[in-house]
Chains A and B, each alone.
Chain A
Amino acid sequence: MGAGHGHKLHYHGHSPVHRAPAHAKVLALLGFMLLVVATPRGWYPAYAVYLLLLVAVVAVSRVPATYLLKRMVVEVPFVVFAVLMPFIATGPRVDVLGVAVSAGGLAAAWALLVKGTLGVLASLTLAATTEPRDLLAGLERLRVPSLLVQIMGFMVRYLDVVTDEMRRMRVARESRGFNARDVRHWPVLARSAGALFIRSYERGERVHLAMLSRGYTGTMPPLHTAEHREHR
């Protein structure tokens, strides 16, 4: 299946981190995040320890660092905001490389940057080492309400379908000479987004019909014997 196989965030492997039960990984991530967020921003050595811990987990999982770093671009908007903060914030000034910046802003930027980066890296590690459906099974074992897990399951299932639809709409737009270059083109994009929303909504209706046709009554029935689950 080549590049299309597997989820885009998932890195196939058989390391101990990959094999660890999904619910344990979710709990570990949650605990780690709470710890990071709760740590006062002045405790620099603590952050070094967190980072080392995370790097150790990544090393054990054998997910290449470049793989994770590339996917860390989602953090860019936060980085931009963090970089701006020392310049925008008010209060006493300090000199950094000869530029006067706000001391409070600088500290806040540091906290945002370090906590955000640790969080994104930890989440990406979880995503890289856990198949989406194992993750869902893990959430189920953690007694997350079944309706929420079902909704997330549908999201995982239909993400590719909707992305593909979006891509086809873009190709169709561009094939008719459209190219979104400036603000004047935004109405077209907005209409496309609206059409995509309606299409997805209609698909939701059709999926529901198909579920009803197979006897769905509102709760997801158990689909596996314990034995089959272990085989996977």
Chain B
Amino acid sequence: MSTPVLDVRALAFAYPDGHQALYGVDLHVHRGERVALLGPNGAGKTTLVLHLNGILGGGTGSVAVSGLPVTKQNVAEVRRRVGVVFQDPDDQLFMGSVHDDVAFGPANLGLRGEVLERRVRDALDLVGMADYADRPPHHLSFGQRRRVAVATVLAMEPEILVLDEPSSNLDPASRRELAEILTSLDVTVLMVTHDLPYAYELCPRSVVLSDGVIVADGSTYDVLTDEPLMAAHRLELPFGFDPRTVRARAAG
């Protein structure tokens, strides 16, 4: 088997105040996969995400990205390989214009001049925001800001895109547009979400994190239809949504 893009082994972590967030997490994600990371509030999802690009560390266990261990020395390369899109686009877009925000990441990688411009243009094209390059981010709609936030990370040409609650606060049309963009990208995706229909739509595989351990890892259909598992970890399908009927509809 090829080297996984993401290889997390026995990762455990406690915050300085003593709160233990992760108790030995194992997770492998292979190239081209789209994986949903599900779990109730406080399960440790964000803590796990912050380990993937070396923001948090110092616990036990290991994280490797395409074979490169996440350590202090490797942190710059790891952050190029792992692109994290945070939940609130206002946190991610901090520059005066969309162009500058998208250029920030690749410029930190040392890109300059025409190469940098091309990266910015290509990333904005991928999310359909090329016409907004000179706009200040705070004048865009929320859905547009979320798309630009994705572009800021794509411009770094990551090996894996990690999205924290990508569908939160989006209206249905923006939500669908983002789904179309994500499926059109040729990149490995790990998506942290509470939006189970969105996970089912976009991610063939789901992993459930609960109380700091992985309690399920399988096809999204199997996870979402496993009622005892779902109930045990405070996961609930929204009213009226049943993966069985959706699959039947898609098949028929």
Contacts and interface: CB of A to CB of B under 8 A. Distances in A.
Contacts of A157: 94-96, 136-138
Contacts of A224: 100, 103
A5 interface: yes
A211 B90 CA distance: 12
A224 B101 CA distance: 11
B103 A223 contact: yes
B239 to A, nearest CB: 27
Contact of A1 (B92, B117, B139, B156): B139
Contact of A215 (B50, B79, B95): B79
A207 B116 contact: no
Contact of A213 (B53, B114, B137): B53
Contact of A132 (B55, B80, B96, B156): B96
A161 interface: yes
B195 interface: no
Interface string A200-232: 000100110111111111000111110010001
A153 interface: yes
Interface residues of A, number: 32
Contacts of B97: 133
A161 B96 contact: no
Interface in B113-169: 113-114, 116-117, 134, 136-139, 152-153, 156
Contact of B94 (A211, A217, A222): A211
B94 A213 contact: no
Contact of A203 (B84, B91, B112, B137): B91
A133 B96 contact: yes
A221 B91 contact: no
B104 interface: yes
Contacts of B107: 221-223
B108 A216 contact: yes
A53 B108 CA distance: 45
A232 B99 CA distance: 11
B117 A228 contact: yes
A107 B91 CA distance: 51
A207 B94 contact: yes
Contacts of B198: none
A223 B104 contact: yes
B86 interface: yes
A226 to B, nearest CB: 9
A10 B143 CA distance: 26
Interface of B: 50, 53, 55, 76, 79-80, 83-84, 86, 88, 90-92, 94-97, 99-100, 103-105, 107-110, 112-114, 116-117, 134, 136-139, 152-153, 156
7 closest A-B pairs by beta carbon, nearest first, are: A215-B108, A221-B107, A214-B105, A133-B96, A206-B91, A223-B103, A213-B84
